[in-house]
Each structure stands twice: as structure tokens, then as C-alpha cells.
Structure 1
Amino acid sequence: MAAGLVISAPASGVGKTTLTLALARAWRNSGLRVQCFKSGPDYIDPAFHAAATGRASVNVDSWAMDRGTISHLVSRGIDADVVLAEGSMGLFDGVAARGVCGTGATADIAEMLDWPVLLVIDPSGQAQTAAAIAGGLRDYRPGVRLAGVVLNRVASPRHEALVRRALLDAGIAVFGALPRHAEISLPKRHLGLVQAEEQAEIGKLIDEAARFVAEHVDLDAVLRSAATWSPQPAASGVNVTPPGQRIALARDAAFSFVYPHMLEAWRAAGAEISTFSPLADEAPDPVADVCWLPGGYPELQAGRIAAKARFRSGLRAFAETRPVHGECGGYMVLGTALTDADGISHEMTGLLGLETSFAKRRMHLGYRLAELAAPMPGHQAGARLRGHEFHYSTIVAQPDTALAVVHDATGAVIAETGSRRGQATGTFFHLIAEDR
């Protein structure tokens, strides 16, 4: 039996990830086995979870996944002592229209698993009002239980005392209060946190966060507040078909946004994955059946990618006889040109006619439901794919045949249809699951 707990907050940027990593490492250091999950479409946080726990973390998503898939993914915590699900955005934040089994809100996962919520509250600029916010979150939705609160970035002992008293008067447990501590801040960039693999000192940072949180939070009380949980047998696994038997996967600082559950599903279905680095001027494995370019930060590496002649020629040769697919940043690299934030245009691989620009950034964010007009690796025409799009690039030209009809979560048709030409296909959304 494991102890299950959801870590959430009223909003983004409050400190959920830092607290999750600190609790995970502190309990791991005490000899407990800790398993983490991420609620919602985030490719970065699971890598931090793995760094803190030594165990792979995956995403669970109520908009894109059915209950069987979520149960299957969560069941990996069967041998853990503590299981933590880190939320995204605010506790009840999701989309307006319900997806497969929810709106994508963290509260969906908390209710589905019947785990209580540990709430991170940043009371900066307020005092007793923090209790009103916590009380509102506690009472907003029947079926979602509040374990208690950890305060973050309290300004002074007097400030802490005011907030604590108000929370206790409201019947809400306070497990600890964290003063401001710049040394445990995780660096950020425009798509979220700087990736764990890019931070050489990530282990030391997590250790410092664990030490700091253990000093200010009652870890035993937090653990006692968690639900006693034993995973139920899952009726189904992840509904994702591998794009091929032997998959050449681009993997480096420019191509790293791929959901861990996708790779696990491919391997579970018998696929073999070989990685290569475009930034190291490597070409895809010539014996692979298909090449897959995930998203990442090609806009930060556009000049380097343009200079990698062996990678570009090798990818073009591969695409003459076998499928190549790109997601988001990978899709941009399959195009003819990418203009960076300084307005400099860089030649890409030219497998598609797509031209994109970061010179005038505009955020594209949200769930996507795509009905394929033509096949793409692993999926036939007519398949309904669920995914998520998050980027700041602008389409300058998208002249090739549309790959799919793509809708957002409200049902509105969007312009980012993806495209296809010959053996090459690409989408701006990152695939999460296929509708059954």
C-alpha cells in the first residue's frame, strides 16, 4: 500500500514543482520509495521528477486519456511507499469542454484517484485573504478533498502568523511555511523551466530544496495526510501505436519534448528506439523504419542546425524511402526556413515547404483534436488523435497538403493543420493518445 497525494495550487508559478521535488527527495533520502506523476501536458517536469526520485515519471491527462489509460500509468506506483501527482496551473483549471474523461484539470485526477490535495499557497501581498482562497478551493467541488496547505514565500514571522491563524480558524491544516529562498529557484525560459538535462547542478539544487523544505515543513504530518492507496488492475494501456518497428528518434537539447508514456508504449508494443543527435551532426540510423523528430528548442539552436550538413543530407536521404515525422519544433526543422528571434532566417531541411518565424512571437497554447486526412507514421487516415500545442512561432508559409483537420478544445477549427509531402509529415501538436 502506498500513500497518495496531489500537489496543486491556486495558480501557476506558486512553487508546485519545487515543493514536489523537495518532498520527493527528502522522503527518498529517508529511505522511502517515491513515485511521481505530472497531471496535464508537460514534457519538462517528468524529467525533474526522475532526477529527484530515481524513477521515471509520466503524464496523466483527463482530457486526452481515458480512465483505463490513467489507471495503467498510475499503477507503476504499486511498489512505491509514496506517490505524488504534481498538478498544472490552478487546481480546477482546465478547458471549457470536457474531453475523454475530464477537462484536463488537476482536480479531475485528484477525484479519480481519491487522493487529497496538498495546496501550495503564496500569500505575497495578502494575509487573511489567503485563507479565503484556500477555503474556496476546499469547498468548490465535492469529491476533491484538501489535505492542508504549505505556505510559500512568506515575508516575515508576523506575516506567517497572520496567515496561519486565518487558515487554522477556517479549519485548514498548515503543514509549514517557507520563507523566500532564491537558492532553490528553478531557471525558466519561454516554454517553462529550463530542462533538467541542461542543468549540471540539478542534483545539488534538489538536495538544497529538500533540506530547506524539511527544515520548514512537517514531513511526517504531510505523509499522514495522504490517502492509503493500492492501484486497481487497469482494463487497458496507452492507446498509441508505434510509428514503426525500428524508430530513429532525434534526441538532444533541440529535440527533447516527447512524453515518456509515448516511448514506453512504443517499446511495450515491441518497437526498438535508436537515438541520434542533430546538434552533433548525426543522421538517423540507416536501418530504421521511420524517423521521428520531437519538439524542443530549435529556435535557440537554429544556426547550429542549419550548419549540420551531415544531419540534413542524411535526413533527406532517409526520407526518400521511409517516413519522417516531426512534432512542433521537429516539424519546423522539416520545413524550408526558420527565422529566429533576432530576425535571422536559417535554412532547415526542406522536406516540407513550411516556413516559421520567432521574430514576432505569438503564443499558441491548448489541447488539439485532429482527424487525419492522410496517414502518418503509426496512424491511418481518419484516425482521431488527441494532443497539445504550445509554441511561440508564427507560420509564414504552409504550402503543402494539410495533414489533418484540427480543432481546439472548444471545437473551433485552427490553422495549424500540419502538412505532408512525399514521405514527410508534421504537426504542431504533440501527440498524447489516439481515440479508441
Structure 2
Amino acid sequence: MSGGPPGFVLGGTSSGVGKTVATLAIAKALEDAGYAVQPAKAGPDFIDPSHHEAVAGRPSRTLDLWLEGEDGLRRNYSRGEGDICVVEGVMGLYDGDGSSTAMVAETLELPVVLVVDAKAGMESVAATALGFREYADEIGRDVEVAGVVAQRAHGGRHEAGIHDALPKDLEYFGRIPPNSDLEIPDRHLGLHMGEEAPLPEEALSEAAETLEIDRLAAAASEATVPDAPLEESADVATRVAVASDAAFCFRYPATLERFRDRADVVTFSPVAGDPVPDCDGVYLPGGYPELHAAGLESSGTLEELGRLASEGLPVLGECGGLMAMSRSLTTADGDSHEMAAILPADVTMHDRYRALDHVELEAIDGTLTADAGERIRGHEFHYSSADVDADARFAFETVRGDGIDGDHDGLTEYDSLGTYTHVHAESGAFDRFLEQL
């Protein structure tokens, strides 16, 4: 079984060091040099991958040990295509108890290219890289720091000072020049989606030109092969409708792959007012329903979905999907809009995030995504809260994470389920969902 394309992991010294910009510049440089790039992202992220896809032209793969387990992570990586995989890390290299960048690199046995902010340093860049390399031994992690990319580094004496200070066994992979155009504007839940705010082509090309692309390509190594391939499913006649538009845009490529492996998939746009397709079940992924609340209210699609759910059509919603399944959604400006009214809840947006964590849930009874007593893992990151009716029924107790009320997640009504938790296909939750249809 193939382990996927050779690759390397871009690890940062901290959050905000410029890993996304470095990833995009490296992908651009590799593509310009004739390599087909498979992008990937360590950690549960939907937004950075949209930028990856805009540059590399293929969906970015999510690599998270908490969500997928070791073999699931390797399987997900192995489904990548192209000549070289460029994996963008999450936070600092060693940060995160559930699935750090270092843990992902170790599981796949891929080398780490360290992104270091060199704005006000030269020899200190080498000292930082040495410290990150040696720290792996201190904590017992088998992580190879192969070299550095100097973020926000000038050329000339600045670049030469960084290069000359590095020991011979740490490669200098080039620099990203300081450029105000290489900034991605913030939005709650992360950054702007790639198709909404792509980096200027000229600035990205300029950054690509200052990278040592031959050295980077040579640094890529083969990943560990998964122990077991994904089990093949028997042919089924199930049809799943997936909401797909600007309001429902947070979904992993692996989720759609799993659906397509096991069912007929059709997409529709609630924002555009598409009718709900003839199907056996509906999946509402996360996204930004609050930015499109007025359009969702007036389109008629959610009203139709609410009626169909009341007649027994299973609807599965995650985060933004949960919000759309509620009775109402109140934006941060105080405007209230009617939603599908499938679930007995009213959702309100806030200025600060309400939950951010890896999550573990235990099913109280059998539900759309888990058997009674079964545990599933996912993640949550949301700026809204849900006010639920006193007699509302929850599908899960939260073992880790906040969920809806601190102790529970998964509102259930009719044959439908809405959670704040996002899960990956490797959790088995979507297999269970398809089996219920």
C-alpha cells in the first residue's frame, strides 16, 4: 500500500510566525518548478486549507491524531496525490496535548522545516533552530528538524548572517521577505477563506523566488505506510444531500470522500434557495450562517428542510449546521432571523469565541453518529451559544470539551442531530450516519 507522496512538515516556533504564508510561498515555488503539490494541514482547520487549495489546485488534507488516530492519520495522508506533500503545522511545533505538529511529523516520520521569525535576529535564528531540534530529545520525540525558513528576513547581510550561523547539519531553505501584502486579514473562527482573500499573486511570486526550492524538494521523505487500508464498503443505494455554499463551507475532503465511497452525493445551496434534493439524509457542515442569516431566512430552503425533518428525513448538522437547524439565529448586531426550527434552541452570536478545544463525546443512547455508550472524538471552535428548551434531548455527554451546555452536546429531535462538535471521517461517525439512512 502506498504511503502517499514524499513530504515535509512546516513547523513554527509559535502561532503567528507566518506558517501559512510560508506554506503558500513554498507551494507556489514548487508548482512553478514543475512539481505537483499536495497540501495538508496539521490540526482541525478549515480556513488555512482553503488557501492551500487556491494555490496548489487540490484539496488540502487534514492531519490530526486526536481526530483520526495514528493509522487513520496515515491513511488520510496516503490518499494524497502529487509529487510532494507540504504539511502546514499548527501553533508552535511542540504545542498541543491532543495532536501537536511534532506528533504529526513523528507519526508520519516526515522531516520538519522550522519557520522562524527573523525580523530582528540573525545568529539567534540558528540558536532557536538548535533549541527546537534538541528539545525533541529532551521530551523523547523522534522528530527531525532538518533546517529553517527565515520569515520576514531581508537579503544581503541579514540573510548571509542567518545562513552562516547555522550548523552544517541544519539546512538553510531560504527566506520570506517582509511584505505587508503577505498578510491574511483576521476573521472570527480564524482567517478569511482562500477564495475570498487570496494573497496578491505578485507578492506570493516574490516570496517564492527567495526560497531554496531544490533543497526543499530534496528534503521531502517518504511517509510511514498505514498498517491497514480503509475497509471497502458494499455498494449501497443511499443518497446524501450536502449543503455547500458560503454559509456551509467547513467540511473535510475526507468526509466527502467517505460519503462518495459509500453513497450517491448531491450538493445544494440553501443560500441560493435551492430546493432540498430528493435524498435519504442531509448533511449541514459548519461555516458562516450568521453572515448569510437574512438570505437563509428568506430563501425558503431551511423552511422546507424543517418540514422534511419533521416528516422523518434525517438531518445531521455540525456547528454552523446546528445553528441553521435551530429556531432562530441572532447575529452579533442583534438582528434575529428564523432558521429551520428542527431543534428546540435559539442561537446567539458573540464577539468572543465560546469554545475552542479537542472534544470527546459519549453517546447517551444510540444516535445518528454513534451507538449507545460509544465515544467519538472531534473538535469545537465557535462564537455562538445555544439557549435550549428545558425538555430538550441531548445525544451526548461531554467527556472533554464544552459542547452545548458544558456537560452535553448533540441536540436531537425527530431523526435529526445537531452538534457543536466537528468530526473527521476517520472517527467512524459518518459511517454510522450512512448506516442509519
TM-score, shorter chain, exceeding 0.5: yes
Structure 1 partner of 2:143? 144
Paired residue type of 1:71: R
Secondary structure class of the residue paired with 1:140: helix
Task: Pick the aligned partner of 1:109 from 104, 113, 117.
Answer: 104
Gaps of 5+ in 1: 96-102
Structure 1 partner of 2:92? 90
Task: Pick the aligned partner of 1:431 from 419, 423, 428.
Answer: 423
CA distance 1:30–1:160, change in 2 (3 Å): closer
Deviations 1:89-119 (A, max 9, x none): 1111112xxxxxxx31111121122211111
1:118-197 correspondence to structure 2 within 5 Å = 118-142=113-137, 143-154=142-153, 157=156, 159-166=158-165, 168=166, 172-197=170-195
Distance 1:410 1:91 in 2: 26
Distance 1:380 1:3 in 2: 38
Task: Pick the aligned partner of 1:279 from 251, 256, 271.
Answer: 271
Displacement after TM superposition at 1:52 (Å): 2.2
Asked whether the 8 Å contact 1:43–1:258 carries over to 2, the reply is yes
Secondary structure class of the residue paired with 2:175: strand
Task: Pick the aligned partner of 2:397 from 378, 396, 405.
Answer: 405
Displacement after TM superposition at 1:272 (Å): 1.4
Secondary structure class of the residue paired with 1:197: coil
Structure 1 partner of 2:18? 15
Distance 2:308 2:293 in 1: 21
Whether 1:215 aligns to 2:218 is no
Secondary structure class of the residue paired with 1:89: strand
Asked whether the 8 Å contact 1:362–1:394 carries over to 2, the reply is no
Paired residue type of 1:385: I
Distance 1:153 1:209 in 2: 13
Aligned-residue sequence identity (percent) comes to 38
Displacement after TM superposition at 1:66 (Å): 2.3
Distance 1:163 1:31 in 2: 28
Deviations 1:113-147 (A, max 9, x none): 22111111113355544333322211111311111
Asked whether the 8 Å contact 1:69–1:238 carries over to 2, the reply is no
Asked whether the 8 Å contact 2:353–2:384 carries over to 1, the reply is yes
1:262-273 correspondence to structure 2 within 5 Å = 262-268=255-261, 270-273=262-265
Displacement after TM superposition at 1:350 (Å): 1.4
Distance 2:190 2:66 in 1: 21
Distance 2:352 2:46 in 1: 21
Paired residue type of 2:194: A
CA distance 1:62–1:51, change in 2 (3 Å): same
Distance 2:359 2:187 in 1: 23
Deviations 1:280-322 (A, max 9, x none): 122321x2011111110112222222222x2122112210221
Whether 1:307 aligns to 2:298 is yes
TM-score, structure 2 normalization: 0.87
47-56 or 133-142, which deviates more: 47-56
Distance 1:10 1:280 in 2: 42
Displacement after TM superposition at 1:361 (Å): 3.0
Deviations 1:3-48 (A, max 9, x none): 4211110112222122222222222222222212211111223333
Secondary structure class of the residue paired with 2:367: coil
1:71-90 correspondence to structure 2 within 5 Å = 71-77=74-80, 80-90=82-92
Gaps of 5+ in 2: 430-437
Paired residue type of 1:123: A
Task: Pick the aligned partner of 1:252 from 245, 249, 255.
Answer: 245
Secondary structure class of the residue paired with 1:110: helix
14-23 or 321-330, which deviates more: 14-23
Distance 1:363 1:130 in 2: 36
Task: Pick the aligned partner of 2:372 from 372, 381, 395.
Answer: 381
Secondary structure class of the residue paired with 1:28: helix
Structure 2 partner of 1:99? none
Secondary structure class of the residue paired with 1:151: strand
CA distance 1:180–1:360, change in 2 (3 Å): closer
1:340-351 correspondence to structure 2 within 5 Å = 340-351=331-342
Asked whether the 8 Å contact 1:22–1:207 carries over to 2, the reply is no
Asked whether the 8 Å contact 2:11–2:90 carries over to 1, the reply is yes
Secondary structure class of the residue paired with 2:423: strand
Distance 1:111 1:60 in 2: 12
Figure out how many residues of one structure are paired with residues of the other and give that number.
Answer: 418
